[in-house]
Structure 1
């Protein structure tokens, strides 16, 4: 289909059904003297669900989300939802931003105005971007794939089509974190001619440290990664092996879905174990709602299966690469590995912020992205 305007409107039937489920949660026990070490803490989740049931206003949040210019088009048989906000400046640089899990396109809601309209936030209008933020296939308001094989590589091919054939950009910039980092790197590896440069807030979990002699930093990373996977990687193991089994419970219970997702926002953000320090209840619940109202928690988990079973190898990335690392993110990569595998032209270590950088520290991230892309603006003839 051609590009069509998209407006979020969730049916009252879905919202009424949700209210019924929130009023009839069957809660598990929690061991005495335990907290978050065994998973999402019971009293916190009860409090969040109580707020969700009695005070959260989806229609108000829906109105806020609809302030963005949203569209859908069909690429390779899958409907792709995306935000497309035009930059307010003399020659905006087109930029596609890719999210990960358990967030959604909402990962970038705070940073979009900083990038499209820098002058309104104390910046230079010459640093403006046209910002495109798609929802990954199987996430949120994009279509749910009905065939296997939709992995980071396939999505990167879809994004190349979206940016060039659908939106008409000859060349563009790309950025991402979490799963979005993988998609962005595949874009760079396979379509270097289309890209000015790529900007990443992480480079995923490095599993191929195979050099005979590793640096001290790489040895420390190897040890940390092994420990993190053993202690924190259970979600990844189940989503990479049995996503369908997991989907039944999470698609049926909003409290279960919240428990599955909220733990990651707490563990991966720079909140020191205190979620309200980083995210409001409305922010957290709106992220959960994106999965609930679209019934995409199962299809999103299948991306983990595909990425662990069907990804092709990725070679050296020649496209200029900026890497911004936030101090509290998980598994900060060794610089030596990054330099061997990517053409890193900017490496920034930021003093605060975690895995959800665009949500946690949008100003810091926007500043780094503007600085990284400034040298490429003279090439922009879109």
Structure 2
């Protein structure tokens, strides 16, 4: 993408500065041109997704992106929330900060993962800030803070190595306490957000009352000699992930820059890199569209495309897993060295989750 066809972020300072999303029309036109010029591969030799995204599914999604999807509608949705940027630890951080009308609401920090973004939380912000509208009680209310991880979305791309989950967690503490002035708050995250939230809970910064994750990234320091049936299932989950599902992670753990050329230059490459995970990581009946609308998926994909963060987001794997073990064991590498957590912490494990550790 030429310089005039990408979204340029304003410089961030230590101040909390209001931010509005507006992607140049030239960038939208450039995307449509690239989609129209796609050089398609030959069709897969199987009748399922075992070789990756089937050609027919890929063509259908790209046709929808080219001819039916409206980025401006998503842009307006983002801009309906208060958005800000501030500089922490040398990097500009973007975040949504939606305050509750209930003054005694508890501040909550929500952290996304990959291939996610702040987009995945838009459907819950109003439910959290104003639960009374949805049958809840005022005491259930939250002030909601949704940051974009460095290298993702409208946060800056780190220019030097070392931006791992533990360091990001420390930045989140600064955001909540020094920038926003919250004295007591809670945190939640999934995927990389779970690794960052786990690191945050291990650091136990002043004011953090409790934490919660989905996809808890926990493995025993030593494998049990005689695992229970539940432990055997969890170990089988890890083995299946490593042997059948971790190709994307192996690449980003070890060579994020190499795959990044495709992710930054080709919208179809970026879309299929992410679309495959929407298929593999949602509770569906065989198609990603069973769990997510095309608009939801394309909102997320387009956010990565217009911000040019396919490469920088991939580097978090190199930082968070690859720099520790240079291998495929995502679950142990993403723990960020947290040995014991004393902050009250909970986890949700859903029936179709990739990894289901035992309660113990």
CA distance in 2, matches of 1:31, 1:174: 43
Match of 1:270 in 2: 283
Match of 1:8 in 2: 21
- Match status 1:327 vs 2:319: no
Deviation at 1:90, TM superposition (A): 4.1
SS at match of 1:115: helix
Q: Which moved more, 1:314-323 or 1:245-254?
A: 314-323
CA distance in 1, matches of 2:46, 2:114: 31
CA distance in 1, matches of 2:28, 2:211: 39
SS at match of 1:148: coil
CA distance in 2, matches of 1:253, 1:34: 26
Match of 2:253 in 1: 240
**Contact 2:213–2:346 under 8 Å retained in 1:** yes
Match of 1:140 in 2: 153
CA distance in 2, matches of 1:109, 1:225: 31
**Contact 2:106–2:184 under 8 Å retained in 1:** no
**Contact 1:291–1:297 under 8 Å retained in 2:** yes
SS at match of 1:256: helix
- Aligned with residue 118 of structure 1, among 131, 142, 146: 131
SS at match of 2:123: coil
- Match status 1:60 vs 2:41: no
Cα 1:209–1:202 shift into 2, 3 Å: farther
Gaps of 5+ in 1: 337-382
**Contact 2:44–2:51 under 8 Å retained in 1:** no
- Aligned with residue 92 of structure 2, among 68, 79, 97: 79
CA distance in 1, matches of 2:19, 2:101: 22
Match of 1:291 in 2: 304
- Aligned with residue 172 of structure 2, among 137, 159, 163: 159
Match of 2:327 in 1: none
Q: What TM-score, normalized by structure 2, do the two folds share?
A: 0.90
Gaps of 5+ in 2: 1-12, 325-332
CA distance in 1, matches of 2:45, 2:172: 49
**Contact 2:100–2:143 under 8 Å retained in 1:** yes
Q: What TM-score, normalized by structure 1, do the two folds share?
A: 0.85
Cα shift readout 1:159-178 (whole Å, capped 9, x = no counterpart): 00000110011121000110
**Contact 1:144–1:299 under 8 Å retained in 2:** yes
Deviation at 1:228, TM superposition (A): 1.8
